[in-house]
């Protein structure tokens, strides 16, 4: 290669390298942020006393006639009856300091039930005993406090509402006990509902979060806490969830004062409105929250809300689904009035409800009552079944109240393998109507010699036959 060609090759190499170098320079550097914020992140360890399972508990799980019964008998002869022995259970998590006087934010599940809570800072082997100032199980938040012998670095909450998907974030915590671990990623999604609690509204991030990160901060590039790392998807890689700071800050402000959050309560059980139910109810689209039951004497009952109503609006705000209703009602204060727009019998009606207070006692009062709700679900051939109520039959588009509603299905049974799903309605078994679990069991008993039973199943307005073997019932 001559000199001119070599010079041209060098120039091209430099030109092509410029975008790569520029791109590398555009990537964020987390060193300063990690060093500064890490001083306010703590390692939390807990101890609690739990009762170990007794030998009698194991004995009760062994069926009659099992050879292990003889083992338990001989064991008692040699060693005497064995009672429950308490044992210590150790736990760990993360947290971060929010005030110079030693207030620390963490998750409720990190410290819940602990007899002893201790805190340790990075690069400091000294352990500080901590007391629980306040905790809220429904949002999984807690505040603890220590008395430190040095000046404490603190972190402050940012505005998670302003976050955009794709922004860089930094997580600091103690995954698997590895102190002061820093991981970086982006905001993958907002407003995630993962079934962790009634007020799910998580930020999703691909910054690595693992057991032990719980309670630690998720930071933006300005070093402000925009989330509290709380949950992971154990079946996935680098999918973590954090409580948004705007939601957490309101609860923390109460907890650090030793106050419990006050949330509004309607006194209804609700469910999602499916497309099929929307059609059956005459709704243009599947929106709102379907009232499955109304507690006797509850605020909704006093305000004129009825089973089968669909709540479409609260104080002029549209209700997208049942989770949206929970959040909007809980965001109102007990004693406050809620103006509801309901869908009832094909038209809109309005009702005003004076809200009660959401607490354990109120929620317990709404627990299913067998006398009020009809027969409880019973399991047959791997299916949890119950007779339909009039409201369920109407919502499912049935001409009359008949059949058995499939409440749940064990996927490892023939029913699950043959494709029967939650929400299906079993109308017949071997061409005989079944309106109770007893009816179905009678048909199954008479069909045992055949070794199979043919079910007529209705799903989304369509009927189909499904045959189930009886040898694995």
Q: Is 219 exposed, middle or buried (0-12, 13-18, 19+ CB in 10 A)?
A: buried
109 assigned ligand-binding residue: yes
8-state DSSP, 115: S
Is 140 part of any known ligand binding site? yes
CA atoms within 13 A on the CB side of 5: 2
The rounded radius of gyration (Å) of the Cα atoms in the chain is 29
Give me the catalytic one of 45, 109, 208, 245. Answer: 109
Please tell me which residue in 94, 214, 245, 293 is annotated as part of the active site.
214
The tokens for 95 are: 């947290």
Residue 193 assigned as binding residue: no
Residue 109 annotated among the catalytic residues of the structure: yes
Q: Is 187 annotated as a binding residue?
A: no
Distance, in Å, from the CA atom of 288 to the CA atom of 275, rounded to the nearest integer, reads 12
Tokens of 153: 């670095």
Closest to 306 in 3D by CA, of 262, 255, 268, 339: 268
222 is in an annotated binding site: no
> What backbone phi and psi angles, to 5 degrees, belong to 71?
-60, -45
Residue 254 DSSP SS3: helix
214: annotated active-site residue: yes
Task: Give the tokens for residue 224.
Answer: 């402000």
Write down how long the chain is.
473
Cβ-based neighbour number of residue 396 at 10 Å: 22
Q: State the burial class of residue 250 (Cβ atoms within 10 Å of its Cβ: 0-12, 13-18, 19+).
A: middle
Task: Tell me the C-alpha distance between 204 and 160, whole Å.
Answer: 12
Q: Give catalytic status of residue 140 as yes or no.
A: yes
Instruction: Please tell me whether 233 is known to bind a ligand.
Output: yes
Say if CB 336 and CB 355 are below 8 A apart: yes
Alpha helices of 155-244 — where are they, by DSSP H? none
Active-site option among 45, 94, 136, 140: 140
H-only helix segments in 27-53? 31-38
Q: Which long-range contacts (CB under 8 A, 24 or more apart) does 466-469 make?
A: 466/418, 466/419, 466/420, 467/418, 468/381, 468/414, 468/415, 468/418, 469/414
The CA distance from 217 to 367, in Å, is 35
User: What residues contact 323, with CB distance under 8 A and at least 6 apart?
Assistant: 193, 200
CA distance 90 to 208: 23
Is 439 annotated as ligand-binding? no
Is residue 234 annotated as involved in ligand binding?
A: yes
Q: How far is CA 313 from CA 199, 288, 344, 352, in A?
A: 18, 8, 13, 11
Q: Is 47 annotated as a binding residue?
A: yes
Catalytic residue annotation? 109, 140, 214
Annotated binding residues, as ranges? 47, 109, 140, 212-214, 230-234
Annotated binding residues for substrate, as ranges? 47, 109, 140, 212-214, 230-234
């Amino acid at each position: 290669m001559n000199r001119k060609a070599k010079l041209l090759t060098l120039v091209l190499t430099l030109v092509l390298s410029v975008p790569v170098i520029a791109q590398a320079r555009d990537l964020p550097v987390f060193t300063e942020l990690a060093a500064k914020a890490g001083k306010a992140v703590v390692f939390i360890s807990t101890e609690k006393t739990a009762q170990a399972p007794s030998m009698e508990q194991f004995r009760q799980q062994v069926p009659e006639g099992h050879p292990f019964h003889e083992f338990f008998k001989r064991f008692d002869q040699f060693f005497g009856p064995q009672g429950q022995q308490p044992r210590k259970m150790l736990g760990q998590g993360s947290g971060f300091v929010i005030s110079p006087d030693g207030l620390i934010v963490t998750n409720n599940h990190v410290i819940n039930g602990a007899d002893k809570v201790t805190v340790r800072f990075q690069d400091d082997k000294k352990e500080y005993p901590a007391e629980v100032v306040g905790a809220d199980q429904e949002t999984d938040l807690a505040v603890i406090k220590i008395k430190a012998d040095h000046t404490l670095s603190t972190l402050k909450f940012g505005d998670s509402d302003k976050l955009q998907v794709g922004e860089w974030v930094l997580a600091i915590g103690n995954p698997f006990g590895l102190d002061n671990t820093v991981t970086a990623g982006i905001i993958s999604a907002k407003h995630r509902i993962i079934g962790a609690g009634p007020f799910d509204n998580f930020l999703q991030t691909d910054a690595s979060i693992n057991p032990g990160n719980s309670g630690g901060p998720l930071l933006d590039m300005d070093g402000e806490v925009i989330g509290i790392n709380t949950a992971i998807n154990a079946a996935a890689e680098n999918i973590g969830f954090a409580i948004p700071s705007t939601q957490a800050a309101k609860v923390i402000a109460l907890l650090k004062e030793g106050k419990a959050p006050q949330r509004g309560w309607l006194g209804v059980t609700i469910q999602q409105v499916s497309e099929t139910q929307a059609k059956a109810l005459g709704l243009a689209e599947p929106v709102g929250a379907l009232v499955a039951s109304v507690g006797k004497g509850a605020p909704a009952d006093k305000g004129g809300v009825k089973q089968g109503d669909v709540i479409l609006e609260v104080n002029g705000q549209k209700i997208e689904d049942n989770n949206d209703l929970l959040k909007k009602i809980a965001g109102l204060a007990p004693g406050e009035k809620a103006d509801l727009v309901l869908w009832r019998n094909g038209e809109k009606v309005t009702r005003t409800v004076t809200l009660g207070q959401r607490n354990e006692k109120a929620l317990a009062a709404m627990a299913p009552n067998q006398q009020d709700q009809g027969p409880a679900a019973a399991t047959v051939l791997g299916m949890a079944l119950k007779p339909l109520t009039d409201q369920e039959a109407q919502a499912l588009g049935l001409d009359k109240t008949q059949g058995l509603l499939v409440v749940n299905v064990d996927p490892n049974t023939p029913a699950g393998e043959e494709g029967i799903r939650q929400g299906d309605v079993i109308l017949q078994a071997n061409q005989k109507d079944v309106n109770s679990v007893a009816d179905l069991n009678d048909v199954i008993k008479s069909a045992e010699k055949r070794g199979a039973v043919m079910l007529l199943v209705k799903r989304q307005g369509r009927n189909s036959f499904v045959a189930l073997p009886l040898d694995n019932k």
